[in-house]
Structure 1
């Protein structure tokens, strides 16, 4: 009896003290459609949840893909990791930049793996799910991780009180959000518009100017240095993350052949574990500017609370951590 009690106590202890704190409560905001790093990022988030480091409160999508299978793909991954009931919401108008391409992997994951999600336009709306999740949470407890268009964040910051909360979006964010991590842009200055910013430039402008509190930015240059996914060749064939990487074209083959940039996986790791000094260097004391074409620049400004990260040391250490998390199931 004593042994059983001790085992339970240790399991509870691992959940409570992972990384020296209780599980990080996460809302994951993803453009699960074009690139398989979104699937990899959700896998990383589940692996961290399995370790007791994260609790996934909601998943929202921010791109209206031609296949309308983004929510189903999220549900496939949630189901595969044993969390089929995580609420999922979709942005019905989605990103404003049209790709006019059917996703290489979301229709296959929808059709080949168990889930009970409907088409994107039949799923609950992202904004009410955001507001309900924030309203139900303890103060200063939520981490938002955005790895796509900033459409949902714009909707949230501009929202008014509703049946879930009397607070405006700005008030809810100030009251409930502990950390906001955005994968987007390129720093200190982008030579061309980065994809996530270009998906909805107007939303990006609104967010950089109106979002209250701190934003920790992870630019394109970070993920470009991290090529992850090749070890997925070694996991079971009924793994939807492996399948996504098998189907997503990259260079002269597919993402699983040699791996591909891990923009979104790194952002999830940053959101949950924070900017660990052994992996990250944080550049503070400024703000991000987004121009009308979608270029980004970090400018010194003591009155604003934006930060961005650089990789500390060599990228291979982060690559190893991400690959290990993506292949733990």
Structure 2
């Protein structure tokens, strides 16, 4: 394939890139996992920020600050920032008396207390399923139980849940972490989990915990959210037939990373990509069948853009594999509804 490049110094580089893509052109099948992309909690959180940005337009409008990323996706954050949202890491960056949104991942009581001290107007976009875990932490702590929180230390959701009962809670990341766990009263042990974990690994950690502490008890219903579970099951349905799996999502998106790990664990090459521009031609060289999914915080438009990019390499057959249909909806907070 010949390409005209005016600058002689660039010709070898451009030529190599063109040849690399030319070698992967040809017919290809995409197995599209479903459900994929946005979940109800993510849609709700984004809707909160968008509604506030609309409400605050014009003279007298207030800036809309958001503590942390509203959801873990760079495209979502860039889009909202482009509309005027101001993202900060901590509340100390927010001027006193301002309007601030708490992200979908939740915050600790300490953060809420700081917001009150700074006279901030708070709109809480915490996912209701994360709020459920917070309520469980408070309830178990009030009963005098030690709480084993299964999750990734440092993740915003884990930090928020831990903050509900820091003196009673210990965080473990895997079954291996359970072996050296020492708790005050082995007869009073409860466990909670981050909502975006790998289902099978979490089950293994819970089994190890129950083996070490036979009287350990969990919540009345699973903490891993429906969307995380559904996306993992959907990906499993396409992984076995795929030569390659691509998952759309950001590196700090826990549920997206878990999807890639799940595919690799099944023995299929898999990569996490922000968007279609991150696809490397060498991944596609032997991939006649590509499994495609998107994490719960990845916009649906990225899926269509990726399909278009793959179609540009030759005839593309898209086969959707639907494992379940989601109809969950979370209403926005009252502070948003009453002003709409």
TM (norm. structure 2) is: 0.29
Question: Which protein is bigger by CA-based radius of gyration?
Answer: 2
Q: Which has the higher contact order (CA 8 A, sep 6+)?
A: 2
TM (norm. structure 1) is: 0.30
